[in-house]
Structure 1
Amino acid sequence: MLGATGTIGRATADALLRRGHDVVCLVRARPGAPAPVTPTDPAGQGGSASVRLVDVADPVALARDGFSGEPFDAVVSCMASRTGSPKDAWAIDHRAHLNVLAAAKQAGVAHFVLLSAICVQKPQLAFQQAKLAFEAALIDSGLRYSIVRPTAFFKSLSGQIERVRAGKPFLLFGDGTLTACKPISDGDLADFIAGCLDDESRWNRILPIGGPGEAITPRQQGEALFALLGRPPRFRQVPVALLDAIIGGLSLAGALLPSLAAKAELARIGRYYATESMLVLDPATGRYDAAATPSTGTETLFDFYRAVLGGAAAPERGDHAVF
């Protein structure tokens, strides 16, 4: 398994262990990072886990230190670029995954489960192009595959909990109805990913997946937060044109300073998620279709909000946070 140190990856490793699988987690070493924690089997089903530090950018090191000449039945990858910048995306979402694919074939792997993203349906950004390029390579590889494309994660929709609790208004792009999604929890997504190994209906397929219930808009997310706090809703609308101006300024400045070019790409990512729904895209109409977006699991975003407001820890949101 790859990506076991991320929130989805940790949940997926636990889901695999609950199903009795023996899991070897190949973890990227990072200078100054704490030692990775070996996943545990909370249900006591007999699965075992170990962790190996590997350099996924080095095919020789990956085969030597990761696969180590041992046979494996499957690869599950929740690995992704940390920033979404073009350099990082092509290095991790594409080239590193190609290295893993080659090593997997050499190790006799029969099935490759890939965590991708539903936003690759309408690719406008470098990380989407990189993910699609590897998806194509995986499909053409001859291995059995399951490509999982989830909708929005709870952690990506948790950024305004504290500002609302502190009495501030909920920020919206436009009127808050530009986009919609079917948010999915870490646990529900992990169970779906782990189930790809055994459920033949998920083999050799691209699998868009969302959480339970109807699609919800950002405005509905804000209304729910205020309701859970027992307060009347307050919103502040941010024009999308403001993001366009920021992107334009950073792009111009980025011609002189590469660091600002990278920030421009992050701003483009923010704009994409502010204006595109995380639902299945109907290629015939070019519109997002909530009814065509499959659902799984039991935990809703509003259950998650309730838990965090009740004292549960909010997840680390990483480099893609807009608010």
Structure 2
Amino acid sequence: MIVVTGASGALGQMVVQGLLDKVPAQQIVAAVRDPAKAAHLAARGVQVRQADYDDPASLDAALAGAEKVLLVSSNAVGQRLPQHLNVIAAARRAGVRLLAYTSILHADRSPLALADEHVATEAAIRDSGLPYSLLRNGWYFENFNTRIAGAAQRGEVAGCAGEGRISAAARADYAAAAVAVLTSDAPLPVYELAGSTSFTLAELAAETARQSGRPAIYRDIPQAEYANVLGSVGVPAPWPQLLADADAGTARGGLFDDGKALEKLIGRPTRNLSQAVEAAQK
């Protein structure tokens, strides 16, 4: 039995849908906070179980009988670690044969502040004694949809990433990787997963201009100024500071990887910049 936590989220749903092509539905558990949001999965024969990262008892029930678990990282930045620790403890009590976790690219040396909770979670997983696979995901192309829209509408992409290269891939690419690991007979302990190709924000602006037929440029500004820009357009705390920090980390190589491990794992190239810009404008 394979349990996917956070299975009503964008990534989790894609993983469950991918598993349905490989595994009988009755062997898949979608662990979700609100089962009503996973009714479409239940309709396909998937077991839907209520699970809250903050409720250890619910996690024990959700992981009962599990052989493999995918811990999709929480989106509650700043509260992730205790939530993840609850899942790890439940996985130990269940005696799972594999605990996979969606981490961040090069977590052990990442310059991004967002990596801190991932690093602590990885350490807890290693200390658990459970067999594990760390899926160190790079940036999702979907993270750039707002910037692509802004470039098309206002002719500008702002940021503080300098000439840093970004090896992004689509959420569907990372979901396919998780499916491959969960259905593997011998998964690796660590996967550094990133796009087959890379780009700078200047190249993103240029590609948006090419497809939209309107001029667009990348404007590089100081980190504090970019954080203020994000706050001024309604991005809620703490995201302006975290996203600006991610851009600054990009300038230091934090989102670049050319090992093509993701492409090799899923057996095809990942989404490229042209495809991502096209998808974002549909």
Regarding TM over 0.5, the answer is yes
**TMscore range, shorter length:** 0.7 to 0.9
Q: What is the identity, as a one-letter code, of the residue corresponding to 1:25?
A: A
Residues 305 and 234 of structure 1, relative CA distance in 2, 3 Å threshold: closer
Q: Distance in 2 between matches of 1:104 and 1:241?
A: 40
Aligned to 1:10: 13
| 1:40 shift after superposition | 4.5
- The equivalent of 1:235 in structure 2 is 217
Q: 1:99 is paired with a residue of what secondary structure?
A: helix
What is the match of residue 159 of structure 2?
173
Give how far 1:55 is off. Answer: 2.7
Residue matched to 2:172: 187
Shift of 1:123: 5.2
How far residue 96 of structure 1 moved from its aligned partner, in angstroms, is 1.9
Q: Does 1:24 align with 2:29?
A: yes
Q: Say yes or no: does 1:294 pair with 2:261.
A: yes
Distance 2:93 2:28 in 1: 18
Deviations 1:94-118 (A, max 9, x none): 2222221222222231001111112
Q: 1:198 to 1:25 in 2, by over 3 A?
A: closer
Q: Normalised by the size of structure 1, how large is the TM-score?
A: 0.72
Task: Check whether the contact 1:39–1:49 (CA below 8 A) recurs between aligned residues.
Answer: no
Asked if residue 134 in structure 1 is aligned to residue 118 in structure 2, the reply is no
Partner of 2:243: 270
Unpaired stretches in structure 1, ≥5 consecutive residues = 42-46, 250-261, 282-287, 312-323
Residues 216 and 201 (structure 1 numbering): CA distance in 2 closer, same or farther, change over 3 Å?
A: farther
Instruction: Give yes or no for contact 1:151–1:278 (8 Å, CA) kept in 2.
Output: no
Could you say what secondary structure the match of 1:8 adopts? Answer: helix
The 5 A counterparts of 1:86-235 are 86=78, 88=79, 93-118=80-105, 120=107, 121-122=109-110, 125=113, 127-166=114-153, 168-174=154-160, 177-199=162-184, 202-203=187-188, 205-212=189-196, 214-231=197-214, 233-235=215-217
1:36 equivalent in structure 2: 37
CA deviation vs aligned residue, 1:2-27 (integer Å, no higher than 9, x gap): 11122111111111111115221111
| Partner Cα distance (1:163, 1:230) in 2 | 14
For 1:52 and 1:162, locate their aligned partners in 2 and report how far apart those are by CA, in whole Å. Answer: 37
Contact 2:223 2:244 in 1 (8 A): no
With over 3 angstroms needed to count, the CA separation of the structure-2 counterparts of 1:186 and 1:220, relative to structure 1, is same
State the Cα distance separating 1:305 from its structure 2 match: 1.9
Match of 1:304 in 2: 276
Where 2:5 maps in the other structure, the secondary structure is coil
Taking structure 1 as reference, are residues 244 and 210 closer, same or farther at Cα in structure 2, changes over 3 Å only?
closer
Q: Which runs of 5+ in 2 are unaligned?
A: none
The residue aligned with 1:78 is 72
Q: Distance in 1 between matches of 2:202 and 2:60?
A: 48
CA distance in 1, matches of 2:91, 2:152: 47
Cα separation, partners in 2 of 1:225 and 1:236, compared to 1, 3 Å: closer
CA contact (8 A) 1:73 1:109 kept: yes
Alignment CA distance shift 1:108-1:229 (3 Å): same
Contact 1:4–1:25 (Cα < 8 Å) also in 2: yes
More helix by share: 2
Report deviation, 1:222. Answer: 0.9
| TM, length-normalised to structure 2 | 0.81
Matched AA of 2:68: A
Deviation at 1:266, TM superposition (A): 2.6
Report the CA distance between 1:195 and its aligned residue.
0.8
- Gap change, CA 1:201 and 1:230, over 3 Å in 2: farther
How far apart are 1:63 and its partner, in Å?
1.5
Between the aligned partners of 1:210 and 1:279, the Cα distance in structure 2 is 16
The count of corresponding residues between Structure 1 and Structure 2 is 266
| Partner Cα distance (1:77, 1:98) in 2 | 11
Name the larger-Rg structure.
1
C-alpha root-mean-square deviation of aligned residues, in Å? 3.1
Instruction: Output the CA distance in 2 between the equivalents of 1:23 and 1:245.
Output: 41
User: What's the offset of the Cα at 1:183?
Assistant: 1.2
Q: CA offset at residue 223 of structure 1?
A: 0.7
SS, match of residue 20 in structure 1: coil
